[in-house]
């Protein structure tokens, strides 16, 4: 009976996720907020708590994080990552300082301590690559001149996470100073070794994984990713970072095929991951954190907008393009929940989970809405002025195109 009940629960959860995904597709919004709400409904204190499928959701959540980071790594190659670091270091550092600061400040003002400040700083810092990519595609912005700037910042954030997650893991483990230095040294050495393998011996990794049979390729890629992620986690590097680096080691047609084969699995287990985070969050704690989350979200919108505007301006992009870059960086989603999940699992502070859930819910919904509203607002303002649109602004039907500034400096991008 226990097995039967678990199967019924698992089937009901997956079916509910499918229905929520259909709703999100119908209204062209990210499904992440809906998945989080489903987790809140099925968790302790929710409408219909799960009773027998906790083990499946916990394991599925871990696999979801691993596949999210692996498929993200498939988007990049090691040389491109090195080039991105070299060409966009200044903008990346500005992004890090400006957007981690609100989270750090809130944690310290609330008296949560330095470790919570590091965790909350990471939560407010990193943009949702998945939601941003969807917004760029849905609004047909991919050919715009500001997009390389946006993508370069996202790549820099991903690389920062590869360093940040091992540090956060060591801090959450509560190890002593010397032990912490040893853990971080092991993490740094592991990341270096994997990157060297990706740079110098990536073709051998590809030869090992490659197969003309899709089933064999799927099993090899999935098995290697989960294996390396487990080893990385054992070395205090973080399973997510290990999976990300495996994705970097694969490139070309093999990476494209692996992405196509693993995307359905990634989407399934990523949805389970978001539900699992919601399961761990007490819905009754959300109201007390909602005010702080709204203030933090407002500040984060302003800091991300400022980051995108400044970085696009450095690249010679028009004012409208700078605004598009700013709003494109607003959404929060998968990485933010990964960080919050680590903090919650470590028992760092029982209020971080509700705050992160409310924060992500607000920005995952509000970010795409702001992006969709930008150009209609610009058109409205242009009509009120009664004059020709500024360079880079949408043109009225039949109007001659406004001149754009000269060619933007080349931006390194891995996507």
pLDDT in tens, 303-360: 999 999 999 998 888 999 999 999 999 998 878 888 988 888 888 888 898 999 899 8
Encoded tokens for 408: 């933007």
Nearest-angstrom CA–CA distance, 262 and 79: 24
Residue 105 in domain: yes
**Quick one: which of 48, 47, 50 has its CA closest to 58?**
50
Q: CB neighbours (10 Å) of residue 369?
A: 14
Each residue's pLDDT tens digit, 188-244:
776 677 667 766 777 788 888 888 899 999 999 999 989 988 887 777 666 777 787
Residue 321 in domain: yes
Residues 146/405, Cβ–Cβ less than 8 Å: no
Residue 346 in domain: yes
**Quick one: which of 95, 98, 110 has its CA closest to 292?**
110
Asked if pLDDT for residue 391 goes beyond 60, the answer is no
Q: At 198, which CATH number?
A: 1.20.1530.20
Q: Domain range holding 334? A: 66-382
Calculate the alpha carbon distances from 241 to 52, 188, 333 in Å.
31, 11, 17
Mean per-residue pLDDT, 128-148: 80
Encoded tokens for 363: 């920005």
Nearest-angstrom CA–CA distance, 167 and 184: 6
Residue 112 in domain: yes
Q: What is the pLDDT at residue 388? A: 54
Asked if pLDDT for residue 296 goes beyond 90, the answer is yes
Asked if pLDDT for residue 96 goes beyond 50, the answer is yes
Nearest-angstrom CA–CA distance, 283 and 317: 43
Calculate the alpha carbon distances from 173 to 58, 215, 236, 375 in Å.
20, 38, 9, 46
pLDDT band at 2 (very low <50, low <70, confident <90, very high): low
Residue 149 in domain: yes
**Quick one: which of 73, 133, 150 has its CA closest to 307?**
150
Residues 86/261, Cβ–Cβ less than 8 Å: no
DSSP label at residue 201:
H
Residue 371 in domain: yes
Asked if pLDDT for residue 60 goes beyond 90, the answer is no
Top pLDDT among 318 and 161 is at: 318
Q: What is the pLDDT at residue 286? A: 85
Asked if pLDDT for residue 70 goes beyond 50, the answer is yes
* pLDDT > 70: percent of the chain: 81
Each residue's pLDDT tens digit, 16-47:
889 988 988 888 777 878 888 888 887 666 66
Q: What is the pLDDT at residue 51? A: 61
| Helix intervals (H) in 75-113 | 78-109
Residue 290 in domain: yes
Q: What is the pLDDT at residue 399? A: 42
Residue 28 in domain: no
Mean per-residue pLDDT, 118-125: 94
Mean per-residue pLDDT, 153-176: 78
Q: What is the pLDDT at residue 173? A: 77
Mean model confidence pLDDT for the chain: 80
DSSP label at residue 212:
S
Biggest alpha carbon–alpha carbon distance for the chain: 72
pLDDT band at 10 (very low <50, low <70, confident <90, very high): confident
Nearest-angstrom CA–CA distance, 60 and 163: 25
Cβ burial, residue 386 (10 Å; 0-12/13-18/19+): exposed
Top pLDDT among 394 and 380 is at: 380
Mean per-residue pLDDT, 74-94: 74
Each residue's pLDDT tens digit, 349-371:
888 989 998 998 899 888 888 88
Nearest-angstrom CA–CA distance, 332 and 410: 27
Domain count, the chain: 1
């Amino acid at each position: 009976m226990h097995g039967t009940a678990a199967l019924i629960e698992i089937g009901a959860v997956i079916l509910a996720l499918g229905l929520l995904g259909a709703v999100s597709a119908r209204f062209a919004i990210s499904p992440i907020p809906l998945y989080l709400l489903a987790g809140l409904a099925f968790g302790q204190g929710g409408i219909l708590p799960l009773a027998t499928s906790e083990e499946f959701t916990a394991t599925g959540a871990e696999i979801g994080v691993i596949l999210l980071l692996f498929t993200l790594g498939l988007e990049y190659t090691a040389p491109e990552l090195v080039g991105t670091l070299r060409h966009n270091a200044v903008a990346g550092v500005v992004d890090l300082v400006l957007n981690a600061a609100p989270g750090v400040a809130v944690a310290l003002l609330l008296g949560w301590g330095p470790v919570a400040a590091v965790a909350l700083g990471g939560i407010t810092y990193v943009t949702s690559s998945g939601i941003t990519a969807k917004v760029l595609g849905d609004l047909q912005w991919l050919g715009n001149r500001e997009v390389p700037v946006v993508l370069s910042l996202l790549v820099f954030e991903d690389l920062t996470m590869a360093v940040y997650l091992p540090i956060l893991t060591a801090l959450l483990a509560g190890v002593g100073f010397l032990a912490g230095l040893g853990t971080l040294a092991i993490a740094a050495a592991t990341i270096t070794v994997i990157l060297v393998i990706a740079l110098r011996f990536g073709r051998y990794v590809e030869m090992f994984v490659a197969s003309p049979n899709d089933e064999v390729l799927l099993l090899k890629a999935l098995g290697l990713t989960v294996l390396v992620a487990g080893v990385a986690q054992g070395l205090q590097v973080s399973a997510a970072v290990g999976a990300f680096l495996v994705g970097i080691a694969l490139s070309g047609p093999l990476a494209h095929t692996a992405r196509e084969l693993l995307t359905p699995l990634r989407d399934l287990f990523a949805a389970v991951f978001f539900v699992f985070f919601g399961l761990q969050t007490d819905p009754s704690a959300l109201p007390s954190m909602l005010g702080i989350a709204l203030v933090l979200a407002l500040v984060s919108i302003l800091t991300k907008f400022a980051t995108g505007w400044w970085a696009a301006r450095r690249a010679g992009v028009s004012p409208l393009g700078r605004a598009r870059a700013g709003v494109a960086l607003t959404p929060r989603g998968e990485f933010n929940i990964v960080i919050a999940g680590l903090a919650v699992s470590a028992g760092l502070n029982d209020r971080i989970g509700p705050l992160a859930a409310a924060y992500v819910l607000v920005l995952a919904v509000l970010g795409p809405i702001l992006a969709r509203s930008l150009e209609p607002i610009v058109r409205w303002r242009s009509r009120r002025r009664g004059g020709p649109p500024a360079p880079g602004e949408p043109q009225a039907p039949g109007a001659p195109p406004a001149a754009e500034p000269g060619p933007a400096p080349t931006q390194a991008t891995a996507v």
